[in-house]
Structure formats: structure tokens, C-alpha cells
Structure 1
């Protein structure tokens, strides 16, 4: 398991210098090549932590979500990525949390919980893998274990266009428009109520529904760009 590096409360409201430079470069590239736009950032709190839940269209998704934000997001990513030269050290430096696909690690969950309780965002893709057709797939329930052990809101996110810009099996970024919607949160009080009633399946479906609604809004937003 790769070494974990939680975001401290002191660092939660600012990016480090390498990310700021990388973010600026990506903003220029994505604005030109992907006509990237996002909306709904006002739904994200300035100080409080939470769990970001998004559909998964491509390897670009963590960058697309983090691009317009000033706060770091600790995404959970498969541990094999940390063994890739250059990428692995960068992921550690950017507070990415490694997790094994074969067996959920209590260490990874503790790191995620610590990040949320420190007032940070943790990002996950509950589909488990990238979509094969651009649609939102069935959600895996593993992230519900986090919600049972910490008091936080869920922030649904919908991505559209990334599936066409970098589909499965593609090696080059295609010039396709991309949109990201940050939806209204599922408040922590409602999340806690579902968990206390043992209604995890209902919470899972509610979360998927909210993400699907955001993704549909993003699709409708990006559609005029596709037909130009």
C-alpha cells in the first residue's frame, strides 16, 4: 500500500505551488482544447469538509473536478497507479488516497475520514471504473462505510463530454467540449438519518439519482457545442 498523506487543517484552504502552476497550465489547455466550463461551485462550502461523488467518464475526471477549485480534493485511486514513475510521486504530493480494488483497506478509509474531519474534500467515483457508453452506471456501496463513520454532506457532481474527449482505450486527448456540474449537496443531517435508520440502499440510490441529474444537466449544456 502506498504511503498515505492526509491534508492537514492548515493546508485545506490552499493549493501547493506545483498544483497552482499545473492548474494554470491545465486551465489554458482545457479552455482551448476542451472548451471546458463548470458551474455550481457556490454549492461547495468554503471551510467544511465533505464527500464529493461523481460519475466516471475518463481518466481526466479528477482533473476536471479539481480544475476550478482553490481547495485540494483527496481523491481515492487504485493503488497500482502509485507504482507508475512520475505519476506516483505526483499523486502522493497531491494527497490522493490509494485503495486496493481487491480488498478495501481500513488504512485508506481512516485517511479519508481524517481528511473529511479536518475540513477537506474527499472525492470518489462509486461506479468503480470508467463508463463504457457515457451513461452513469450502477453505484458500488463501498463509500457508505465512510458515511457511517463520519458526519458529512454528499456533494454530487456530473461530468459530460469527457467520455468523448478521452474514451476507454484512447491514448490522445480529442478536441471535444466538456462540462462539469457541481450539484446541490445532500446535507449531513439527511445522510445521518438514512444511516441511523439502516436505509443504506435508499441513500445509495438517492446519491446515484443526484449524480445522474447533474450529469444530465451537463449533457444538456454540452449538447449545443457537440452539434456545432
Structure 2
């Protein structure tokens, strides 16, 4: 136990399991098809409405995953250690350090380590949202994928579908500027909500492999078009997974 940091030391999956037990969150996992096994890495792209998304994803996928996180999570005492033990790594403030982030993520992927990212960013987690809501997918994950250089990299869309939850206001958004003054959303009025899943389904979509032509187009001046297309495709996959989860019982 590492008391100097204020948190006991856990394995990644043990910590995820402990958090889910702490909040009495029941998780059901559904796969559209079996994920590729014994062939290297996955890039997982997931919806994001709750602080419990990370433990749900880690526990449900059942494999070690490194998580791309928002910068301010690394600035909050105790939370930063929690994020570290969950496998999180992050860029610099206000989006600085994308190149370093891409390089680090590529290193994990090339070494066979799975990486997960929340392409919605903070759009839903910082505002009141509906259980079946999906926000626009930003293109950062697509740049990350295409800068990895891994032809055939499986990109896996994931939806986290809440069946029953508790929610409400947590802290004023402006209070969070104490931890990251460069973040524009922390200058807004209003409250950062909490969403605690009571019953939630992790719906894992079919892997979509990157092909050589996409890497070639990305390098030859069509980066904006290629990343926009991939982001749109994964967003649509997440919407379909979410909609089917919302209408079908476990």
C-alpha cells in the first residue's frame, strides 16, 4: 500500500472493479463480434458521459488498456494518482502537446498495448445529458490512429449505454479553473454534473481496420478529409450501438 500518495496501489482492473463495486454499478457487456486476439493492439473509441466510463471500459474489455485523458485530471490531487493507476496519460493544457501525445500513444500501440480515447471530449461529461445521447466525435483520435503507422490497426467503436443512473450538479465549472486555467469550458457559468451508473451496458462494436490507402492519403495532403471521414464513421457506429442498446433488453 502506497500511503505517501494517499491511495493504495491497485492493478488497473482491480481498481476498476473496486470503483464499480463502490458505486454499486452493474455492468453487462455485449460484443457485435469477437475482437481480434493475439495480433497486437486495438484503438478503442468510446462515448463519455460519466467519470465511471473509464472503469466500465477497463473492466468490460477485460484487458490492459492505456487511456487518453483530459489535462486537468493530472492536476487534481488524488485524482491524478487514480488516473495514473487506471492507465491514463494526457496532453498538455489547452490541447498543447498533441505531437508528444501522438508519439506516446503510437509507442504503446506499436508495443502491442491497447489504447482507448473518448472522442467526444468533455462535451457531455460537463453538461446535463441524456442516457442515449451521443455528441460529435472530434478528429484527434483519427490523427492519433493514422500517425501510428500501423496498417491494419483495428479501431473499435464502443457505446456505454446507461440503463439506470443517478445524476445531478456536482461542482461549479469555474471552480475547476483552479486546476486548469487554460481550459475555456472552466470559464463558463453553471455546474459540472455527476452521472453515477446503476445499471450500464458496454456495447463493443465491430473492429474497423485502417488500410494502406488511408495512410498514403493522410501523408499526401488529404489529412483533413481522411480524419473527418474516419471520425464521422466511428461516430455513426457509436450512435447505432447506443440506439440498439437503448431499445433492446439485456
The answer to whether structure 1 residue 65 and structure 2 residue 57 are counterparts is: yes
Alpha-carbon distance, 1:92 to partner = 2.3
Q: 1:171 to 1:53 in 2, by over 3 A?
A: closer
Aligned counterpart, 1:103: 95
The answer to whether structure 1 residue 133 and structure 2 residue 129 are counterparts is: yes
Q: Match of 2:140, SS?
A: helix
Q: Match of 2:121, SS?
A: coil
Unaligned runs of 5+ in 2: 1-8, 171-192
What is the RMSD computed on CA atoms of the aligned residues? 2.8
CA contact (8 A) 2:90 2:101 kept: yes
Alpha-carbon distance, 1:210 to partner = 1.0
Aligned counterpart, 1:177: 199
2:116 to 120, 123, 140: 123
Separation in 2 of the partners of 1:102 and 1:124?
A: 17
Name segments (4+ residues, structure 1) moved above 6 Å: none
Alpha-carbon distance, 1:85 to partner = 2.1
CA contact (8 A) 1:181 1:217 kept: no
The answer to whether structure 1 residue 193 and structure 2 residue 213 are counterparts is: yes
Unaligned runs of 5+ in 1: 1-15
TM-score calculated relative to the size of structure 1: 0.76
Aligned counterpart, 2:67: 75
The aligned length equals: 203
Q: 1:78 to 1:163 in 2, by over 3 A?
A: farther
Q: 1:23 to 1:168 in 2, by over 3 A?
A: same
Alpha-carbon distance, 1:27 to partner = 5.3
Q: Match of 2:129, SS?
A: coil
